[in-house]
Chains A and B, each alone.
Chain A
Amino acid sequence: MSAPGGNATAGGAGTRHPLLVRDRRLRRRKLVNRTMEATATLAALIAVAVLALVIASVLIKGVSAINLDFFTKEPAPFGQSGGGIANSIVGTVLLVAMASVLAVPIGILIGIHTSEFARSSVASSIRFALDILNGVPTIVTGIFVFGLLVVGHVQSGYAGAVALAIIMLPIVARSAHEVLALVPSSLREASLALGVPRWRTVLTVIVPTAVSGLITGALLAVARVAGETAPLLFTSSIASTMVSTDPSKALSSIPVRIFELSESPSPAEHAQAWAAALLLIVFVMLLNVLARSLFGRSRARIARTR
């Protein structure tokens, strides 16, 4: 508005070709455009750089402690060097497996309910509740399970798994809802119009079409809770240093073990903490890559029916 010069140039350029008219506002717009582009690119680069730095520092500091013993041995007795985190690896695998057994079926059923059966108002309130549950700090979940299952009893792998399952549930349910909603309604109609009852349509047409997406959601939830420390501190942290597969007692876990090792005065144990962190990062990255490739396949399959 306040650039009469621009107008004057445009108006007074009777001899110039209209495509060659130089406008001061246009020049400014170009500059703003370039600045914005550069800022956004920089922000994206920072995100990638942070990830690269995290991975690099963990790699540099942890790789020296990685050897066969690290994976296969139990922690060395106090004052001795060597040893590994075999008990924590086994414990994390058990905890995450038990949490998945609890959370994945229930989460997928919730997703099926909100996307296939619930009225839209009910579905959106459930999804809102899931979002809030997802936002609950994990330490709060830990204390909740502590009060529910540990007070008056002892810490146990079961309690830890329940805490992890509560964290997984909203992730699985929300992602299940999203991938089921991607299944085109034409498939639902095709099945219903054949006289197939609704529940059977869901089980035999909708869920198989979205199955890779459902697995993706479950994998991402696993990746998320594999690194959770806070919920396990109250529920499954006072654990034996022996490899244990008994969930009625507290199970060791990689994240809690990293925390313990980091508090140790010994540099060798610090290196082990970094190595354990490296193991966790690699595990989570592999899960993410797997989840992405599965989701890509799922989307391709759905796209073919569009």
Chain B
Amino acid sequence: MTSDGHTEVHTEMSQPEPQPRIAREAPAEPALAAAPDAAETPAAQGEQAREVQLQGLRAFYGHAEQVKGIDLDFKPNEVTAIIGPSGCGKSTMIRCINRMHEEIPGAHAEGRVLLDGLDVYDSSVDVVAVRRAIGMVFQKPNPFPTMSIFDNVAAGIRLTGRRRRGPELRATVERALRGAGLWDEVCDRLSEPGVGLSGGQQQRLCIARSLAVDPEVILMDEPCSALDPIATLKIEELISELKSRVTIVIVTHNMQQAARVADRTAFMLDGELVEVGPTQEIFTTPGDRRTEEYVTGKFG
């Protein structure tokens, strides 16, 4: 294990690419160009998720560089945890993956973010398609306050202009709620407001909402930081189940959480990637002294 983690990135890239899951519909098309159609396909269990590669990713707020050139791979059907002290650029980095970073006035990103080989910043790629393919769960549960539980989950489908018949929509919503482990708790009160649920339920509702548009990748920005330990446990179990369907990137401040859910862990410091590797290795035999100091609680 080298100290910069880049060696591993390059060896991984030589592995065979996973078969793109929409190949049966649009074999020649890159994923993002076909994303609106691809999303019509009902999700099936055990599908191949997609690979995300960051190449020289830099992110700026005005002139301040917050992410300083990161090369990192997120492999299909794996959970990758991003750890690091507050302000080290973890959240900024994952917000570049689905192009949410550019929503902040004055912010921009440089470098490449490849989703199965196609740059999400490519001029032929529509930002809306990027966000349909790469879902996001935020730090605080944020269900839409004007919508019922059902409508919250259906929001992504309805508002992105996809026509679905009633029964089909209901089936999609149920599948998403089951996928988020919430169905049994809410199936008899789907028309009640989403904000009436408990915090943990709201967060699973938000996960269901992002699952409903059938993403390939889900980014989670400290999804449990506002939740109690029991709700946190449920979300963590959910993450382990979901990785068979989607690639998951989770930012966390909680190192036990990273150890519990992540297959691989990346450690960031001051906008740079210090080290990435199998979670076990990062926590027991890190290659870099700074990683060791952080995971053993000497700073951060």
Do A and B belong to a common assembly?
yes
Residue pair B155, A194 in contact (C-beta under 8 Å) = yes
Residues of A within 8 A of B140 (CB): 186
Residue pair B142, A195 in contact (C-beta under 8 Å) = no
Residues of B within 8 A of A192 (CB): 100, 103, 131
Contact of A195 among B138, B145, B160 (CB under 8 A): B160
Residues of B within 8 A of A197 (CB): 128, 160
Cα A33 to Cα B131 with chains together (Å): 58
Residue pair A195, B206 in contact (C-beta under 8 Å) = no
Cα A201 to Cα B159 with chains together (Å): 8
Q: A209-B145, A301-B145 are in contact. Are A194 and B160 (CB under 8 A)?
A: yes
Kindly state whether residue A264 has any CB partner on chain B within 8 Å: no
Q: A200-B159, A305-B195 are in contact. Are A195 and B144 (CB under 8 A)?
A: no
Kindly state whether residue A66 has any CB partner on chain B within 8 Å: no
Within 8 A of B (CB), among A171-222: 184, 186-197, 200-201, 204-205, 208-209, 211
Q: Main SS of the interface on chain A?
A: helix
Kindly state whether residue A266 has any CB partner on chain B within 8 Å: no
Residue pair B195, A304 in contact (C-beta under 8 Å) = yes
Kindly state whether residue A120 has any CB partner on chain B within 8 Å: yes
Q: A119-B105, A193-B136 are in contact. Are A209 and B144 (CB under 8 A)?
A: yes
Within 8 A of A (CB), among B149-166: 155-156, 159-161
**Contact size range, B:** 20 to 34
Minimum C-beta distance from B217 to chain A (A): 12
Residue pair B156, A205 in contact (C-beta under 8 Å) = no
Closest to B193 in A: A304
Residues of A within 8 A of B142 (CB): 184, 186-187, 189-190, 305
Residue pair A194, B138 in contact (C-beta under 8 Å) = no
Kindly state whether residue A102 has any CB partner on chain B within 8 Å: no
Residues of A within 8 A of B195 (CB): 304-305
Kindly state whether residue B48 has any CB partner on chain A within 8 Å: no
Within 8 A of A (CB), among B28-83: none
Kindly state whether residue B90 has any CB partner on chain A within 8 Å: no
Q: Name the 5 nearest CB pairs between A and B, nearest first.
A: A195-B132, A195-B131, A194-B156, A193-B136, A186-B142
> Would you list 22 pairs from A and B whose C-beta atoms are within 8 A, ordered by A residue?
A186-B142, A187-B145, A189-B138, A190-B142, A192-B100, A193-B100, A193-B136, A194-B135, A194-B155, A194-B156, A194-B160, A194-B213, A195-B129, A195-B131, A195-B132, A195-B156, A196-B160, A197-B128, A204-B155, A205-B144, A209-B144, A305-B195
Interface residues of B (CB under 8 A from A): 98, 100, 103, 105, 128-132, 135-136, 138, 140, 142-146, 155-156, 159-161, 195, 206, 209-210, 213
